[in-house]
Amino acid sequence: MTAFRAALAALIWLALAGCGVSGSPSQHSAFPDGSTMALIRQRGVLTVGIKFDHPLFGYKDPATGRITGFDAEIARLVAKDLTGSESNIRFIETIPRNREDFLQRGVVDVVLATYSITPARRRLVGFTDPYYYAGQDVLVRADDTAVQEPADMGGKKVCTARGSTSVDRLRSTVPRAELEIVDTYMECVTALITGRIDAISTDDTILLGLMLQHPEQVRLLGKPFGREPYGMGVRHDDDAFRGYLDGLIAGYLRDGRWDRAFRDTIGVAGAAAGQAKPASDRH
Ligand code: GLU
């Protein structure tokens, strides 16, 4: 009887493991030896470079320490696909100017940090297909009526972050803006509220999060003047890992996981997915 039970238990265990009910990565196909995917699975942890200061996108909740936001949700989906559990993840803070460096030095496996795909960056790192489209916009004080259009930033003090595409677009589209360039967008907020600067300009995803923190004091123009395709950054020439991630992104766009991540994060601010969602048929 005992032997019978043991055999039965073994059979049930095998059946469950075979179906992947345990949620272990054994349900996935094997990765090529030496690939980044195999390495991460073996290590059991995915390291992700992410922003810590953008509510709704990549944010370290001071009360719980949990990293929240759209980028965090997408990163957790990747960790689950790679390792079998979304909690096999280590988030490391990146700021606009150190994302390439973190990838090149192997500090992180992947960067998901409001990271726009650009030709200049492509020379240093690899990018997946876009998983989100943001737009560059402008945040002003709620009672300031002087800035209504991006062009009104001419002659005004505008704050943005070093190493971002926002700096380049401001220089080319509003060359008369007086730029105050800092390391993180958070540094711009107090300067705006106290009147030391007149506007903050960067992606609407980031500005929405800042607005959420100071709803009475600031106002979003809502007139995007440039499209920012976000990609996951990987090491330069790691085509296998990039291709693997492209496949995951295509799946998330098709099967409702992208929509769920949007609804639970940036969507709570009342934003509609609209232009933000890449067409899944492109993937
Ligand atoms: N998405 C733009 C960039 O990658 C601006 C936002 C940011 O600095 O993260 O530069």
DSSP of 127-161? E-S-SEEEEEEEEEETT--S--SGGGGTTSEEEEE
Q: How far is the CA of 181 from the centre of ligand 1 (A)?
A: 13
Return the ligand 1 atom nearest residue 51 CA: 9
Whether residue 16 is predicted with pLDDT greater than 90 in this model: the reply is no
Q: Which amino acid is at 97?
A: R
Q: Look at residue 8 in the predicted model and tell me its pLDDT.
A: 40
Q: How far is the CA of 85 from the centre of ligand 1 (A)?
A: 29
Whether residue 1 is predicted with pLDDT greater than 80 in this model: the reply is no
- Map out the domains of the chain with their CATH numbers: 3-131+231-276 (3.40.190.10), 135-226 (3.40.190.10)
pLDDT class of 282 with cuts at 50, 70, 90: low
Q: Is 226 in the pocket of ligand 1 (CB under 6 A)?
A: no
CA-nearest residue for atom 9, ligand 1, is: 114
Q: Is 165 in the pocket of ligand 1 (CB under 6 A)?
A: yes
Q: How far is the CA of 96 from the centre of ligand 1 (A)?
A: 6
Q: How far is the CA of 16 from the centre of ligand 1 (A)?
A: 44
Q: Is the dihedral of CA 219, 65, 183, 127 positive or negative?
A: negative
Q: Is 96 in the pocket of ligand 1 (CB under 6 A)?
A: yes
Q: Is 160 in the pocket of ligand 1 (CB under 6 A)?
A: no
- Over residues 68-118, the pLDDT tens digits come to 999 999 999 999 999 999 999 999 999 999 999 999 999 999 999 999 999
> Which of 114, 167, 179 has most ligand 1 atoms within 8 Å of its beta carbon, as the pocket-test mutant?
114
Q: Is 204 in the pocket of ligand 1 (CB under 6 A)?
A: no
Q: Look at residue 144 in the predicted model and tell me its pLDDT.
A: 95
Q: Look at residue 234 in the predicted model and tell me its pLDDT.
A: 98
Closest CA to 164 of 104, 95, 107, 210: 95
Return the ligand 1 atom nearest residue 113 CA: 9
Burial (CB < 10 A; 0-12, 13-18, 19+), residue 176, is: exposed
Q: Is 233 in the pocket of ligand 1 (CB under 6 A)?
A: no
Q: Is the dihedral of CA 66, 256, 115, 108 positive or negative?
A: positive
Q: Look at residue 271 in the predicted model and tell me its pLDDT.
A: 75
Beta carbons of 228 and 165 less than 8 angstroms apart:
yes
Q: Indicate the angle between helix axes 36-43 and 70-83, nearest 10 degrees.
A: 90
Task: Render the burial of 52-72: b for 16+ CB within 10 Å, e for the rest.
Answer: bbbbbbbbbeeeeeebbbbbb
Whether residue 11 is predicted with pLDDT greater than 70 in this model: the reply is no
Q: How far is the CA of 251 from the centre of ligand 1 (A)?
A: 25
Beta partners for 269? none
